[in-house]
């Protein structure tokens, strides 16, 4: 028992103090999913792109959505393209629940948790922002019909 605890603690200490140099961590060019800043937007898609968002990961599906309530255009980071296999087109209506990671006036950025498209709701993260493509989908189910929550 003590051995295990010492092992866990020791590995961390070794990594922090004298261990090998850390591998490239997840970058900060993208924000984190801030549960305190959840928003819901809904409107037509204006643009669809594939853009790198995190280091050492596949490109993300990134869309621009004009929120019909506020008239503002949001950049929505959805999920890696291999995970999010929906075919989204310009002009299509999209509803998104996500976290506002950047309040930049020109183009605020939303990190999506749930995306509703053609009546289907696709969960890409859990409520605390854990990405479903990293195992979360196994537990929670990826898709459902009905309103987003």
Partner 1 sequence: MKPRRPLLFFLLPYGGVLLVFFAVASFNRAFIQERAESLVKEQLSASAEILKAGVRDLLEKNVPPQGILRGYAGAEEIYFMAVLDERLEILDWSSRFEGYLPFSRKDLPREEAWIIDSPAGRIYSVFKPLRTAEGKSYSLYLGISLRGLEDMLARSRRNQGFLFGILALAGLALFGGVFRLHRQSLARAEEAVVEREEKERLREISGFTAGIAHEIKNPLNSLALLNELMAKKAAPELAEHLALARDEIRKIAGIIDAFSSASKPLTLRRQSVRLAELVQGVRSSLLADAERKNVEILVDGKGDVQVEADRDLLTQALFNVVRNAVEATDRGWIRIRISRKRKGGVIQVEDTGRGIPDELAARLFEPFVSSKPQGLGVGLYLARKILTAHEGTIAAAPRPGGGAVMTLEIPGGPS
Binding site for partner 1 (CB under 8 A): 1-2, 4-13, 15-17, 19-26, 28, 30-36, 53-54, 57, 77, 101, 111, 125-126, 128-132, 134-136, 138-140
Taking a C-beta distance cutoff of 8 angstroms, is the pair 64, 112 a contact? no
Cβ nearer to partner 1, comparing 13 with 50: 13
At its nearest, how many Å lie between partner 1 and the CB of residue 16? Answer: 6
For residue 9, give Cα distances in angstroms to 2, 17, 23, 70.
10, 12, 19, 50
Distance CA 144, CA 116 (A): 9
Tokens representing 76 are 């929505």
Tokens 């200490």: give the residue: 13
At its nearest, how many Å lie between partner 1 and the CB of residue 126? Answer: 7
At its nearest, how many Å lie between partner 1 and the CB of residue 143? Answer: 17
Cβ nearer to partner 1, comparing 34 with 85: 34
Cβ nearer to partner 1, comparing 19 with 147: 19
Taking a C-beta distance cutoff of 8 angstroms, is the pair 111, 75 a contact? no
């Amino acid at each position: 028992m003590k051995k295990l605890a010492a092992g866990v603690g020791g590995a961390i200490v070794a990594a922090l103090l004298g261990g090998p140099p850390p591998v490239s961590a997840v970058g900060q060019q993208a924000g984190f999913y801030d549960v305190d800043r959840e928003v819901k937007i809904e409107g037509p898609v204006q643009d669809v792109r594939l853009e790198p968002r995190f280091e050492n990961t596949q490109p993300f599906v990134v869309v621009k959505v004009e929120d019909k309530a506020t008239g503002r255009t949001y950049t929505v980071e959805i999920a890696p393209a291999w995970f999010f296999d929906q075919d989204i087109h310009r002009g299509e209506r999209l509803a998104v629940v996500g976290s506002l990671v950047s309040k930049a006036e020109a183009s605020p950025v939303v990190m999506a948790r749930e995306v509703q498209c053609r009546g289907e709701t696709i969960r890409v993260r859990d409520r605390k922002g854990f990405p479903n493509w990293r195992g979360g989908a196994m537990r929670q189910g990826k898709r459902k019909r009905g309103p987003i929550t």
